[in-house]
Every structure is written in structure tokens, then in C-alpha cells.
């Protein structure tokens, strides 16, 4: 009889969670994504360290760029960013204090593969 009580208690919790999601939607923290970025010099292919990566979502009311990562010595950064359903995130890649051009890009494919960015120098 105790097993029946435990089964019913477990089902009650599952039902409550299902009803909560149905009424209020998926919690915002479940919408977080993360992508691996690699930033290299467009001419030489050398990794670029200290490059800032910012993001924003076009559908959001606030269109400010939000810093979300900086590349390491291998030119890599694991970038976490929020996403709104049906919106493609924009990314700004900027090597501040250098002669590399700022690069803006929009990602339409958010599968978790490596995003390689090639920065060019101003001529």
C-alpha cells in the first residue's frame, strides 16, 4: 500500500509541474543557449585573443549590445546568450583597441556547432 501512496505523490508533483508550464510557459532560464565561437585573423588564420563578443535580439525592446564573452589565447569563447522564440540573435565581434574591423552577424542556425569568425584589418 505504501508503494501506491508514493506513486500517487509522484504523479501529483508531475501533474503540478505540467499545469504550471501550461499556464505560465517554459521558464526563461530554459531558453538560454550557448555557442562555441572561434575568432581568427582573416588573412593569416591566427587565433585572436581578447576579442569581445556581444549579443542582442532584434525582437527585444532594448536593442543595446550585451557583452557575453571574450576570446582566450586560442581565439575561443563559449558564449551564453538569451534567445526569444522566433528571433535570430545578432552578434557583434570587436577587437577593441586594434585595427581590426568590427563584425556584426546574425545567426539563423542555432545548432551547437563551432561558429568561426574571421576578422579583417582596416586598410
Q: Is the pTM of this model over 0.75?
A: no
Question: Do residues 106 and 46 share a domain?
Answer: yes
Domain containing 8 equals 1-27
Question: Which three three-digit cell numbers place residue 85?
Answer: 522564440
Angle at 53 between CA 36 and CA 84, to 5 degrees: 75
The tally of domains found in the chain comes to: 2
In tens digits, what is the pLDDT along the chain, a chain of 123 residues? 677 666 555 555 455 445 545 555 544 433 456 788 999 999 999 999 999 999 887 655 667 888 889 999 999 998 877 666 666 788 899 999 899 999 998 887 766 678 899 999 987
> How far apart are the C-alpha atoms of 16 and 70, rounded to whole Å?
41
Question: Do residues 1 and 51 share a domain?
Answer: no
Question: Do residues 101 and 50 share a domain?
Answer: yes
Cβ neighbourhood burial of 76 (10 Å; 0-12, 13-18, 19+): middle
Distance of CA 78 to the CA centre of its chain: 8
Question: Do residues 18 and 54 share a domain?
Answer: no
Check: CB of residue 10 under 8 Å from CB of residue 90. no
Question: Do residues 44 and 80 share a domain?
Answer: yes
Amino acid at each position: 500500500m505504501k508503494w501506491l501512496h508514493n506513486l500517487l505523490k509522484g504523479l501529483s508533483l508531475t501533474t503540478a509541474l505540467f499545469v504550471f508550464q501550461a499556464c505560465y510557459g517554459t521558464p526563461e532560464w530554459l531558453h538560454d543557449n550557448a555557442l562555441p565561437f572561434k575568432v581568427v585573423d582573416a588573412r593569416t588564420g591566427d587565433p585572436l585573443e581578447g576579442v569581445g563578443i556581444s549579443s542582442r535580439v532584434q525582437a527585444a525592446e532594448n536593442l543595446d549590445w550585451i557583452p557575453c564573452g571574450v576570446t582566450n589565447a586560442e581565439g575561443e569563447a563559449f558564449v551564453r546568450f538569451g534567445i526569444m522564440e522566433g528571433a535570430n540573435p545578432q552578434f557583434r565581434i570587436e577587437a577593441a583597441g586594434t585595427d581590426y574591423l568590427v563584425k556584426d552577424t546574425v545567426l539563423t542556425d542555432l545548432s551547437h556547432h563551432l561558429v568561426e569568425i574571421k576578422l579583417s584589418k582596416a586598410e
